[in-house]
Structure 1
Amino acid sequence: MALTPAQVRLMDDQAHAARAMWNLLHDWWTMTPKCRRSLKAADEAVRQARKEIDWLGVLPAQAAQSVLKTYFQAWRNCWDGRAGEPSFKARLRSVMSVDIPQGRDLNIVRVHRRWGMVNIPKVGRVRFRWTKDLPVGKRADQENRITGARLVKDALGWHIVFRVQTLEPTPEPRHGLEVGIDAGVNLPLALSDGNHQDHGRPPRLPDGKADRDKWLNTGEKARLLRLERRAAHRKSFRKPGQKTSHRLKRTYDQIKQLRARATRRAVDWQHKTTTALAKQYGVIVVEDLHITKMVKSARGTVEKPGKNVAQKAGLNRAISQEAWGRTVTMLTYKTARHGGLLVKVPAPGTSLRCSVCGFTTPGSREDQATFVCKNPGCGWSGNADWNASRNVLHLYRMGHALIPAAGRAVVRRARRVKPATAR
């Protein structure tokens, strides 16, 4: 969004008010007896707070109601076992956002091919970059229309995401090719048929250390290094308890912008890759990975200190950068959208078992990238990730899928709703 400095301040105030409204609701909920908790009582408390607290008035009434509905939905998700309990939103750890639940208040107009105009409550007319087709004007009807929007801020500025309601036929089940996928570090997505998906960026530097800035080019990496050194130099002059200077804040903002640019490139690669896989294959089999346990630190305790702590920390950083969980999430709804199916199989043993003879022998993984079967009657060797992907597909064909019925239910639920967004 192209905003003036005054509009940026107004939207920042609304986002802080929305976060404060959530925290006040959370305090009200925890302090109110269970017999008095209800949506009606919470709505009355929100209305009273907006009248008595001046700075909450900068948040539009519809946006405040959206915070209330989102908070109650968070508790429903907790009660149904889909998420944890709602918690306090800290200023530094929460994303600044404001919801616009009424689509009729937006008044979207396309200025030309690249830019459009939208009306933001209590902010005014704002230009935004037109990146996707939107049902506006004669193209809008009851079956294809904009129902609302959400304003989100990141290191690169404010963005607007439109909620679009569309009517689409349920795709017919597609019995296409079956493929097993193993998510790795050296090879991001290894496929059982050899059609590996690589983003062309090595996970490690020549000295063996993990490259946390692999999505930046050479010039951007050099600029990031200069900014980090500049931030460390300016931070050395700050005394304990002293506020951060404006120069240091500006340097931190520039570092965040480069990090956000790298994240966008990674997400863009994931979207394009998962879309191509969902169109090509009818059944996609992945491992049921517990990533939180995989990236657990090996530091240990004082009584039992860990081993190879630095190497494990680098591996954890490389795993987190690949964002395997986000890839599986994308594949789940995209395969459902194209009539396919995503299945999970047990992960233990897939990387240590030979995909040719089926035996697990000690010492087969000579290094992170190569698998050599130590069975005297086999001796097969090849890429370790490719070997694991073949084992993943074999487990599915042998009937070791984890709760296939639940997977089909997820597919049916994903087919009913297809969100379309524009930024």
Structure 2
Amino acid sequence: MDAQAHAARTMWNQLHDLWTMTPRCQRSLARMDATLRQARKEIDWYAVLPAQAAQAVLKTYVQAWKNCWDGRVGEPNFKSRMRTAMSVDIPQGRDLQIKRVHRRWGMVNIPKIGRVRFRWTKDLPVGKRANKDNRITGARLIKDDLGWHIAFRIQTLQPQPKPHQGPDLGIDAGVNLPLALSDGNHQDHGRPARLLDGTADRDKWLNPSEKAKLIRLERRAAHRNGFRKPKERHSNRLKHTYDQIKQLRARATRRATDWQHQTTTRIARTYGTVVVEQLTITNMVKSARGTIMEPGKNVAQKAGLNRSIAQEAWGRTVMMLTYKTARYGGTLHKVPAPNTSLRCSACGFITPGSREDQATFVCKNPDCGFEANADWNAARNILHLYRMGHALVPAAGRAVVRRTRGVKPATAR
């Protein structure tokens, strides 16, 4: 599997080189397909990758350029060996020959590898349950720090969901309170964002024994790395220690993602309209280090806040809510973020000094005096902005895409 993944990545890079070096008037899918077939005959290690998987790489690359021309994503680029996720496509479902051998395990046939056992975690249309409208059309092998995984592509008929008649909901994403809801039914994963000394807990999704093991592994890696000379390759023992650290990190990420899936599914089933803030997270997690001429202030505190924001993965939560609300007949809207945490949700005024305490909002307006949790107050303001007609995103939950000016290449016709 590793050899196939490396061959697919290298094939992508060579297709990218061929595409960029070819004049625009000569770029075409047929020309690249002929070049790919000739390369498979002349380059020996291309034979490791099945022919269908090689064609899937070509189709994915061409589709990446089409997405770029439509303005949805940027241009395809080079895939590095260290930073690219290893994956292989199996585009034809008939080659899989899936069979369930146990309540928790199944067998699948992978081209040029053979029969492989996999963990049965989802219901699959196999055997008598498979038909023309409900069948497996392919799969994708993906490798992370915990090993190889397989994701099946299923073609099925889904009924059009009826409009969700649930109540409206405003959500404010935070660090201490992950998801504050406007109706007071806050969603908390029970993992503290800060330690007793006030620093950010970067390993909050690990239990105490796993945290202790992680500390031992990091110390062991630092000790073994001290014996390595400059520009010398890592030893096998050091690589094994790094792999163990990556496995613990991946386990924590999987737990966080699982909590997000369960929470967003529960919200999409309960509420008909979900309103969130339009946040630019990349700007929020910028470093406060500054420059040599103008050094920043509270750099360590800002770095800890950035790590806490990155751990909560607010963008992934919004992405899950986007497609899950549409699946259950609901809608997702976004409203402007400025002053949602500074405005009083009771009187509507912005009074200086109302957020002296980060966890509590106390309105300094003499005629109001409203006091509540700061995140809950922000969630109420978010919902109020939507009801006042300040939504930024259409009801489908997708941002408006505009094509950049320019002439499309001849192959796009």
TM-score by length of 1: 0.93
- The CA deviation string for residues 348-378 of structure 1, in whole angstroms up to 9 with x for no partner, is 1101111111111112111321111111111
- The CA deviation string for residues 18-53 of structure 1, in whole angstroms up to 9 with x for no partner, is 000110011111111111111111111111121111
Match of 2:146 in 1: 156
Alignment of 1:21-420 (within 5 A): 21-404=11-394, 407=397
Matches of 2:96 and 2:119 in 1, distance apart?
A: 15
Give the residue type in structure 2 aligned to 1:172: K
- The CA deviation string for residues 93-122 of structure 1, in whole angstroms up to 9 with x for no partner, is 000000000000000011111111100000
Q: Which runs of 4+ in 1 moved over 6 A?
A: none
Matches of 1:386 and 1:403 in 2, distance apart?
A: 23
Pairwise CA distance, 1:298: 1.0
- What is the count of residue pairs matched by the alignment? 400
Contact 1:341/1:408 (8 A) holds in 2: no
Match of 1:8 in 2: none
Match of 2:407 in 1: none
Pairwise CA distance, 1:294: 0.7
Residues 103/116 of structure 1: CA separation in 2 closer, same or farther (3 Å cut): same
Matches of 1:316 and 1:15 in 2, distance apart?
A: 33
Match of 2:5 in 1: 15
Contact 2:331/2:396 (8 A) holds in 1: no
Gaps of 5+ in 2: 401-413
User: The residue matched to 2:171 in structure 1 has which SS?
Assistant: strand
Which shifted more, 395-404 or 206-215?
A: 395-404
CA RMSD of aligned residues (A): 1.1
Which shifted more, 294-303 or 389-398?
A: 294-303
Contact 1:95/1:154 (8 A) holds in 2: yes
Give the residue type in structure 1 aligned to 2:245: I
Pairwise CA distance, 1:307: 1.1
User: The residue matched to 1:161 in structure 2 has which SS?
Assistant: strand
Percent sequence identity over matched residues?
79
Pairwise CA distance, 1:191: 0.2
Gaps of 5+ in 1: 1-10, 411-423
Matches of 2:150 and 2:394 in 1, distance apart?
A: 37
Pairwise CA distance, 1:406: 5.8
Contact 1:355/1:391 (8 A) holds in 2: yes
TM-score by length of 2: 0.95
